[in-house]
Amino acid sequence: MGFIKKYGPCGCKDCQSPIIQAPGPVKFIPGSRFSNNTLAFFLTSKFVDAQPFYRMEQILSRFGIDTPRATLCALAIRAGRSLGDLIEAMKEDIKRSPVVLMDETVVQVLHERNSSPQSKHFMWVTEGFSEGKPLIFFHYHTSRSKEIPLKFLKDYQGYLQTDGYSGYDEIGRVPGITYVGCLAHVRRKFIDAEKLGSKEASIFISMIGELYEKEAELRQQYEEGLLTTESFLSLRRKEQAPRLTAMHAWLRTHAGISPP
C-alpha cells in the first residue's frame, strides 16, 4: 500500500507546530485503498498473464489478503474508464501509422447479455507504429462485420495488411488505402496442396522459403546496425523484387494447368 511519512509536533510543551505530513502520490483511481503499483499488478496478471480474477482471489487469500473477485472486477472497470483518453490517443496514433495490420479472432464470453456462452464473439486486433515502436490495440465486439474495420479505420491513409477474410474487402478499396495481403496465409494453401501430393505446390513453397531466408538475413543485418534504414530498403528492393516478380510469373504460368 505504501507509507506516507508524518512529522511533528515536537515534544516541547510550548511548541505550536502542527503535524506536517507529506502529500500522498496521485492515485490512478482516486480514493482507492490500492496503490498504483498494486493496481498495475492486478491488471497485468489478468490481461498479460491470463490469470482469472477468481484464481487471483485464491492466491491473495493464501497470504492473508482478503480481496474478493468482485473488488478486482470493479477495479478493472474503473481503470478501463479512466484510460479512456489514453485509448483514444492510441487509436489516433495507430491511424497515423504508415502501415496497419489487422486481424480478428474468436473469444468465448461466458456472460454476455442476450447471448449464450457458445456464441461467437470477436477480438479485433490492430497494430500500428509510432516513433518506431509497435502499438497494439484490442477491440472487443460481438460481430465480425465489415463495419468494424470501416469504422475503426475511418479516414486512414496508408498500407493495410490482413488475411484473406472478405470482411476487409470494402475497407481495402477505400481511396488512400493500399490493401496488402499476407504471404504466410497464402503459403498455408500450398502446404495443404503439397499434402495431397502436388509437386507444383512444393516448388512454390521452396520459392517462398528463399524469399523468407533472404528477408531474415537482411533484417538481422538491420537489427545489428550493419544497415541503415535507407540501405536496408534499397537492398531489400534489389534482392526481393526479382523474386516476387518470378513468383508472380510462375503462378500465372501454372494457373491454367494446375488444380485450383
Per-residue pLDDT of the chain (260 residues; tens, 9 = 90+): 456 666 766 666 666 667 777 777 888 998 888 999 999 999 999 989 999 999 999 999 999 999 999 999 999 999 999 999 999 999 999 999 999 999 999 988 877 777 787 788 899 999 999 888 999 999 999 889 999 999 999 999 999 999 989 999 999 999 999 999 999 999 999 999 999 888 889 999 999 999 999 999 999 999 999 999 999 999 999 999 999 999 999 999 998 787 76
Read off the amino acid at residue 179.
Y
| 103/117 Cα distance (integer angstroms) | 22
* 111 plus 155 within the same structural domain: yes
Task: Output Rg (C-alpha) for the chain, integer angstroms.
Answer: 27
Residue 155 backbone class (left: φ over 0; alpha: ψ -120 to 50; beta: rest): left
Is 201 found in the same domain as 146? no
In a domain, 91, yes or no: no
> Given 152, 180, 208, which residue is the final one in a domain?
180
Cβ contact 16:8 at 8 Å: no
Residues 176 and 104 in one domain: yes
Task: Note whether 188 and 216 are same-domain residues.
Answer: yes
Domain match, 143 and 212 both = no
pTM: 0.75
Tell whether 11 is covered by a domain. Answer: no
Q: Do 147 and 112 fall within a single domain?
A: yes
Q: Are both 33 and 106 inside the same structural domain?
A: no
Query: Can you give the residue range of the structural domain that contains 189?
Result: 183-254
Tell me: do 127 and 164 sit in the same domain: yes
- How many domains, in total, are found in the chain? 3
DSSP class of residue 167 equals G
Provide the H-helix boundaries in the chain.
36-47, 53-62, 69-82, 84-95, 147-152, 169-172, 183-195, 199-223, 229-254
Domain assignment of residue 102, yes or no: yes
- One domain for residues 101 and 176: yes
Kindly state whether residues 173 and 118 are assigned to the same domain: yes
Evaluate whether residue 226 is within a structural domain: yes
pLDDT score, position 6: 67
Give yes or no: residues 165 and 137 share one domain.
yes
The answer as to whether 20 is a domain residue is no
Q: Identify whether the C-beta of residue 182 lies closer than 8 Å to the C-beta of residue 168.
A: no
Q: Is residue 124 part of a domain?
A: yes
Out of 133, 160, 180, pick the residue that ends a domain. Answer: 180
Q: Which three cell numbers stand for residue 182?
A: 499476407
- Write the DSSP string, 87-128: HHHHHHHHHTSSEEEEEEEEE--SSBTTB-TTS-EEEEEEEE
132 and 170 within one domain: yes
Question: Among 151, 180, 209, which residue terminates a domain?
Answer: 180
Residue 6 located in a structural domain: no
Report the pLDDT value the prediction gives residue 16, as an integer from 0 to 100.
Answer: 66
- Pairwise CA distance, residues 221 & 4, whole Å: 51
What span, in angstroms and rounded, lies between the C-alpha atoms of 50 and 75? 16
Instruction: Examine residue 37 and state whether it is found in any structural domain, yes or no.
Output: yes
Q: What is the pLDDT of residue 98?
A: 95
Which of 38, 39, 40, 72 has the alpha carbon at shortest distance from 55?
72
